[in-house]
Amino acid sequence: MLDTAIIGMGRWGQTLVDSVQGRNDAGIRFVAGCTGRPERAADWAARQGVRILPDFAAVLADPQVKAVAIASPHGMHAEQVIAAAAAGKHVFVEKPFTMTKASAQAAVEACRAAGVVLALGHNRRFLPAVAEMKAMLADGRLGTLLHVEGQFSGPGAVAYKPGMWRADRSESPLGGMGGMGIHMVDMFINLAGRIAEVTVQSHARVLDNGLDDTTAALFRFDSGVTANFATLALAPRLWRVGLFGTDAWAVLHGHEHLTTCTRDGTPQEHVFPKTDIEAAELMAFAAAVAGGPAYPLPVEDAIHGVAVYEAMIGAAASGSTYRVA
């Protein structure tokens, strides 16, 4: 059992812990952690048997802790990953991995040098429907891939108030990209490979808390495949990703409903079982630490996802197309 500390006990940190705590088959348990406002998490931590330590340094100094799961503000990730690696702790880190390609590379190198496992929390890689989409690409059922479409939206930004870290533009550039859209960037990389260039428009149409509510982008992949993408930070929740090839298309609406259609024009719907993707990613992390299969998100993809995010920020600010470094 991998004894792990949770770094950040806000809503998402608690979600991660709740997904696996007390499961004998998980291979991971949370034993300690730290958070910016411990008084808010005290009752929850007591129920889950998680010791609240004074700060991150105390977590790294705790001999019981063999790994950390980082669910802190985005801008803290790189420094915390590097410090955890130096302390010999395996690292699971929430998205966005870091905020710049250079810091992502430094974090990956720190983990390599320390010989610790690094896992990034893009949980939708663990959906059975996504595995089917990858299989359709691999076995030729789609023909030649021409175009990808994606949207990940939700209403969360309406609750962001001044003083909250998520309401800080340095933590949440491009509106919903940090909390939602970065997942779709990773999904594009997972399905269609490396992204070569981006064009982005991002603005606040309704929100008045300093954040954008509408972010839309055009992408071109190294392969020549194109994509369009949107993340709306003040809209009903929606996850949709589609692949469009010469022989067929496949569109995933939500996590379980995949519709496919071949040239004969008869769509077919495939319904997949619900999957606890938070538990799946943490179990995969624990398995990788234990010497099992490598975590199914290569660190090169993690770095590339940050490079795409960084290019999107630049493209939106300049109004021009940005090459992805």
Are residues 101 and 204 both part of a single domain? no
Average pLDDT over residues 27-36: 98
Distance CA 88, CA 94 (A): 19
**What residues have CB less than 8 Å from 43, skipping those under 6 apart?**
none
User: Whose CA is closest to 191, among 221, 217, 152, 231?
Assistant: 221
**pLDDT at position 89, please?**
98
**pLDDT at position 169, please?**
76
Please identify which residue in the block is written with the tokens 């302390």. Answer: 87
**pLDDT at position 225, please?**
98
Helix (H), strand (E) at residue 88: none
Q: Are 120 and 207 in contact (CB under 8 A)?
A: no
Distance CA 191, CA 106 (A): 26
pLDDT in tens, 259-270: 999 998 899 999
DSSP class of 174: T
Distance CA 279, CA 305 (A): 22
- Give the end of a domain, one of 123, 149, 177: 123
Tokens of 182: 């970065």
Going by pLDDT thresholds of 50, 70 and 90, the confidence category of residue 158 is: confident
pLDDT in tens, 92-125: 999 999 999 999 999 999 999 999 999 999 999 9
Average pLDDT, the chain: 96
Q: Taking phi first (over 0 means left), then psi (-120 to 50 degrees means alpha), and beta for anything else, what does residue 319 get? A: left
pLDDT exceeds 90 at position 173: no
Average pLDDT over residues 283-311: 98
Distance CA 53, CA 32 (A): 7
- Give the end of a domain, one of 80, 99, 123: 123
Are residues 48 and 167 both part of a single domain? no
| More confident: 119 or 170 | 119
pLDDT exceeds 80 at position 163: no
Are residues 118 and 131 both part of a single domain? no
Going by pLDDT thresholds of 50, 70 and 90, the confidence category of residue 159 is: confident
Tokens of 258: 């995949």
- Give the end of a domain, one of 97, 123, 149: 123
Query: Does this model's pTM top 0.75?
Result: yes
Average pLDDT over residues 78-105: 97
What's the per-residue H, E or C state across 28-81?
Answer: EEEEEEECCCHHHHHHHHHHHCCEECCCHHHHHHCCCCCEEEECCCHHHHHHHH
Are residues 146 and 105 both part of a single domain? no
Are residues 170 and 312 both part of a single domain? yes
Phi then psi for residue 124, to 5 deg, are -75, -5
Q: What are the start-end ranges of the E strands in 129-213?
A: 145-153, 195-203
**What residues have CB less than 8 Å from 194, skipping those under 6 apart?**
221, 222, 304, 324
DSSP class of 222: T
Going by pLDDT thresholds of 50, 70 and 90, the confidence category of residue 207 is: confident
Containing domain of residue 43, as a range?
Answer: 2-123
Question: How many structural domains comprise the chain?
Answer: 2
CATH number assigned to the domain comprising residue 142: 3.30.360.10
Are residues 237 and 159 both part of a single domain? yes
Are residues 297 and 312 both part of a single domain? yes
